[in-house]
Structure 1
Amino acid sequence: MTGKIYNKDRFLKNITQHLNRPVPSSVTKPDWHFRPQDKTLSGLSQDELVEVMKQHSVNIHTDVVQTTAADLNTALAQVVENYGGGEVIAWNDSRFDELGIDLKRFDTFIWDEAKGAENIEVAERANIGITFSDATLAESATVVLYADKGKGRSVSLLPAAYVAIIPKSTIVPRFTQAAEQMNLMNQDADFPTCINMITGPSNSADIEMKLVVGVHGPIKATYIIVEDY
């Protein structure tokens, strides 16, 4: 389904009149000669990027668990137990089956777009939300989530605790590389309707510059890095 832009010409005409210049017929993408952002952390191996991410995870109050695909079920069960169990909500994501993750061992609700508002109601009361990371930024320990059918953003935003399963191959140095991926995706008709970037549990330092964790979303977060995926 393709969206439609309304009143674009009138909007642009109003702006260009105030700027006293015509509406350009096309826009040429700049060819920057200096791009230092491409070099930052670019020489690191995948294992070194994992170490950078682990260091930054400490700064954002996020636990990191490293495991293999074979031991992923055990690692996930331990995290759920540490968070006190309770109701779990997860994406409807084929990667759970691909990795043999048994969500039925928990009290799990799988996001179902056919159920409409019920999904959000469950997310609001759930103790734990579980998603995969589609791209992961080592520099800031940030997981990038691409919204899609069955992948509601409330899963990562509303439960008391959040768990991101991170395939090691998704870890890139910084947002520069993630943006390159997005540019390639933008050439595809199936570009995500929403892209969320999550850096640990919710926090705020708006009041007297004092950091408070768990203000408007998950109070705790764990990243599970899957080594051999």
Structure 2
Amino acid sequence: MMSGTIQNREAFLTKIAERLGRNRFLTNVERPKWSYHPQDAVFKDADSNELLEALKTQCTKIHTDLIETNKAELIETIRTIVSEYGGGPIVAWKDSRFEEYGLSPLFNNIWPSENTEIHQWESALGEENIKLAEKSNIGITISDITLAESGTAVLFSDKDKGRTVSFLPLKSIIIMPKSSIVPRMTQAARIIREKIKSGEHLPSCINFITGPSNSADIEMNLVVGVHGPVKAAYIVIEDL
């Protein structure tokens, strides 16, 4: 069988329909038109400041630090949180937005007194990136979409934005442009769907990350850091 092809699909689907005692639908099912859209009611009329306040409130519930800053103070803000989180080694995406936000000095070792080791994800290195991420104390990424309701960062992976950067290091720092904040999953799904409709290339892996790693047993005893970072910080940049 050739890669990327589907074999015997029609026969397979017809057989399933027969077993269910009904005919195959040979045309596309018409999307229903609902008269009420409760998924749009959450923060329906909230502006960017109100969404940020909702995000702040949620971060107190998901054990996540939230720091507000602007582009001019971003490097100093990162230096502060990195110091609070115990320094390097650090692994980060290779993302053009770092330069846009004035973070190029970050990868020229802005903590020389602490001898902080910084690795920027490089696709040519292959699995060596994963080994370096595994040894890192802090991973730095950027949120593509941010959900105010749940305090979730949506990260689009690609060849220079390894998904392990956000969960293999002990701590995670996620930079969040204020313009990326939307009410909830409803808007994120629509943004992704519109990107697909417009023909934009999207990664095969889109991660929805809500604070540090959390796990609870049947008695709801919460344990942080079982299968990911034990600490997480969101740095919200004023870009509106």
What's the TM-score bracket when you normalise by the shorter of the two chains?
over 0.9
Q: Tell me how far 1:36 sits from its aligned partner.
A: 1.2
Secondary structure of 1:17's match?
helix
Q: For residues 158 and 44 of structure 1, do their structure 2 counterparts lie closer, same or farther at Cα, with a shift above 3 Å needed?
A: same
Q: CA RMSD in A?
A: 1.6
Secondary structure of 2:233's match?
strand
Query: 2:201 aligns to what?
Result: 190
Q: Tell me how far 1:7 sits from its aligned partner.
A: 4.3
Equivalenced residues, count:
228
Deviations 1:68-116 (A, max 9, x none): 0110000011111111111111111100011111222252111111111
Q: For residues 6 and 161 of structure 1, do their structure 2 counterparts lie closer, same or farther at Cα, with a shift above 3 Å needed?
A: farther
Query: 1:43 aligns to what?
Result: 45
Query: 2:21 aligns to what?
Result: 20
Q: Tell me how far 1:13 sits from its aligned partner.
A: 2.5
| Whole-angstrom CA distance in 2 between matches of 1:152 and 1:5 | 29
Which deviates further from its counterpart, 180-189 or 160-169?
180-189
Secondary structure of 1:9's match?
helix
The correspondence for 2:117, drawn from 107, 119, 122, is 107
Query: 1:165 aligns to what?
Result: 175
Q: For residues 137 and 3 of structure 1, do their structure 2 counterparts lie closer, same or farther at Cα, with a shift above 3 Å needed?
A: farther
Which deviates further from its counterpart, 30-39 or 58-67?
30-39
Q: Tell me how far 1:228 sits from its aligned partner.
A: 2.5
Which deviates further from its counterpart, 10-19 or 202-211?
10-19
| Whole-angstrom CA distance in 1 between matches of 2:16 and 2:94 | 44
- For structure 1, list consecutive stretches of 5 or more residues without a partner in the other structure: none
Question: Does 1:137 pair with 2:150?
Answer: no
Q: Which structure has the greater CA radius of gyration?
A: 2
- Percent identical residues: 50
| Whole-angstrom CA distance in 2 between matches of 1:5 and 1:109 | 41
Equivalent position amino acid for 1:114 in 2? A
| Whole-angstrom CA distance in 2 between matches of 1:174 and 1:224 | 19
Query: 1:68 aligns to what?
Result: 70
- Give the 5 Å matches for 1:207-226: 207-226=218-237
Q: For residues 58 and 89 of structure 1, do their structure 2 counterparts lie closer, same or farther at Cα, with a shift above 3 Å needed?
A: same
- For structure 2, list consecutive stretches of 5 or more residues without a partner in the other structure: 110-115
Q: For residues 22 and 226 of structure 1, do their structure 2 counterparts lie closer, same or farther at Cα, with a shift above 3 Å needed?
A: same
Secondary structure of 2:56's match?
helix
Equivalent position amino acid for 1:14 in 2? K
Query: 2:132 aligns to what?
Result: 122
Q: For residues 11 and 43 of structure 1, do their structure 2 counterparts lie closer, same or farther at Cα, with a shift above 3 Å needed?
A: same
Q: Tell me how far 1:6 sits from its aligned partner.
A: 4.2
Secondary structure of 1:74's match?
helix
Q: For residues 90 and 10 of structure 1, do their structure 2 counterparts lie closer, same or farther at Cα, with a shift above 3 Å needed?
A: farther
Deviations 1:105-139 (A, max 9, x none): 25211111111111111111110011000000000
